[in-house]
Amino acid sequence: MKKISALVLVLFVAFQMTSCKSEKKEAKKVSTVAFVLSKAKNSVDWVAYKTTEKIPVKGKFKKVNITSGGEGNTVKEAINNAEFSIPVSSIFTSDTSRDYKIRKFFFGIMEATELLSGKLVIENDTSGYAEITMNGLTEKLPFTYEINDKEFKMSAIMDVLNWNAKLSVDSLNDACKELHKGLDGVTKTWSEVVINISSTFE
């Protein structure tokens, strides 16, 4: 009987020690920072232009993934050095035909561009840059930003020619020949795109 009691006691102590270890491991996984970018409401909007008159075409990417960093005790800390990826398949312009053409005739002929990826770097209180990887190239995209309470907003003008994307611009222009023709009869797709990104933290 004593042997059985001793065995039960040993098993009970072993169980308690294991439980304590498990609880400690779980506790380490809990984030204590105030701002987490992956939990924020993130939007990536863009404005492209067509025709000589430079008519705006608005769109967005409906999905953005935070792949590294993105946490801090301030909004600025959470944004600085955050890395992200954006699936090209998540492009949305309220026109399914246009979405298809952009995916196929613009991004589709680029090198390894199923995803757009990048890293945000804050330089001072108003500006920074994003290291954007597209078409097999990584280049810096300067941006300006502002922070209001728990909201971060940045804006940039991206010339896709800096990512060697002239073939993509020409391809899309040809695919949209009639739709991108202006009053002067000239078909034109601009290489400059306005990028607006906002993150509203919980």
pLDDT for 132: 97
Identify whether the C-beta of residue 157 lies closer than 8 Å to the C-beta of residue 146.
no
Per-residue confidence (pLDDT) for residue 194, from 0 to 100: 98
pLDDT computed for residue 180 by the predictor: 95
pTM for this entry: 0.81
As a whole number of angstroms, the distance between CA 187 and CA 56 comes to: 14
- The letter for the amino acid at 186 is V
pLDDT at 32 over 90: no
What's the average model confidence in pLDDT over 9-28?
Answer: 50
Query: Can you give the pLDDT at residue 174?
Result: 96
CATH topology for 34-200 is: Lipocalin (2.40.128)
The ranges assigned to domains in the chain are 1-30, 34-200
At residue 27, the pLDDT reads: 47
Percent of the chain topping pLDDT 70: 85
Query: Which tens digits make up the pLDDT trace of 81-124?
Result: 999 999 999 999 999 999 999 999 999 999 988 999 999 999 99
Q: Identify the pLDDT of residue 129.
A: 98
Q: In whole angstroms, how large is the CA radius of gyration of the chain? A: 25
Supply 136's token pair: 């097999």
pLDDT tens digits along 37-50: 999 999 999 999 99
Tell me the per-residue pLDDT of 154-169, one tens digit each, with 9 for 90 and over.
999 999 999 999 999 9
Question: For residue 15, what pLDDT is reported?
Answer: 53
Residues 47-74 pLDDT 10s: 999 999 999 999 999 999 999 999 999 9
Calculate the dihedral angle through the C-alpha atoms of 100, 101, 106, 107, rounding to the nearest 10 degrees: 10
The answer to which of 11-25, 77-91, 96-110, 128-142 has the lowest mean pLDDT is 11-25
